[in-house]
Amino acid sequence: MMGVISDAGKVVIFFFRILGVWKRKSISSQLMFEQIWKVTMQSALTTGMAGFFVGAIMTIQFTMQMKDFGALGYLGGLATSTTIREVGPLLIAFMLAGKVGAFTSAELGTMRVTEQIDAIRCLGADPIQELVLPRFIAIVISSFFLLGLGLLLSIFGGILLGEVFSGVSFEEYLRHIPTIVSLPSILTGLFKCFIFAVVLAVICTYRGYTTTGGAKGVGLAVVKTAVGTMVTIVIADWVTSLLADITLRAVLGT
């Protein structure tokens, strides 16, 4: 337990160190856009396929429940609302953790154990500014692009399964989406997406940047990145859901 608390403290300190460098120093636009492109392209296909099947699964599950109440007309709205508020952001975070998080940790870890980071520091440059910050920003920004892609394909998957499995036409499926998908639902999904992306970006860059022990250390850093991000994202999901519920109740006065 003390080790977990110590690691959490080090990650938080590293996060504020990144923010401090971001505030004081400029970022290379070329490096940042290269990383955004790389992160987006690495995960676009996987995220799109996962989003499609999540939409299909949500449609099947809600069909089983709503058919008994004769409310299949609301199928599209409920499935889409659930995906935007909960499944979409969590899915994107897990996809990024499995692909981009592990890759970034291994990449930075290899630079660390082969002394490339030390060489950058010897040349008078800041490794956090040159290596960590562009990857951090890229993961956060790319998560929103991937969220949009996943949600669009989840709607498409829901429409297809609604037509084939539920007997709901695509016009009927789409008609109630604006009715049920409210602004608070969209804001909740975007907020969760941002929090999950920051958590992933901090943990994977920290693990890679602080790698020791050669090739074995790189592998250990990748494992710790995968485990740490998954557990932290689940905890963050619970916290953000609780905060969103409290905020909504306060706004509505209930």
| Cα–Cα distance measured from residue 146 to residue 133, given in angstroms and rounded to the nearest whole number | 20
The pLDDT value given to residue 202: 92
Query: pLDDT in tens for each of the 254 residues of the chain?
Result: 777 788 888 888 999 988 888 888 777 788 888 888 988 888 888 888 888 888 888 888 888 777 777 777 778 888 888 888 777 788 878 888 878 888 889 999 999 988 888 888 888 888 888 888 988 998 889 888 888 888 888 888 888 888 887 777 778 878 878 878 878 778 888 888 888 889 999 999 999 998 888 888 899 988 888 888 888 988 988 888 888 777 767 766 65
Which DSSP letter does residue 70 get?
A: T
Residue 190 C-alpha from the chain's centroid: 10
Structure-token match 């979409």, residue found: 88
Task: Return the domain boundaries, the chain.
Answer: 22-252
Give the residue among 232, 208, 180 at the shortest CA–CA distance from 100. Answer: 208
- Strands (E) across the chain are located at none
3-state secondary structure 71-108: CHHHHHHHHHHHHHHHHHHHHHHHHHHHHHHHHHHHHH
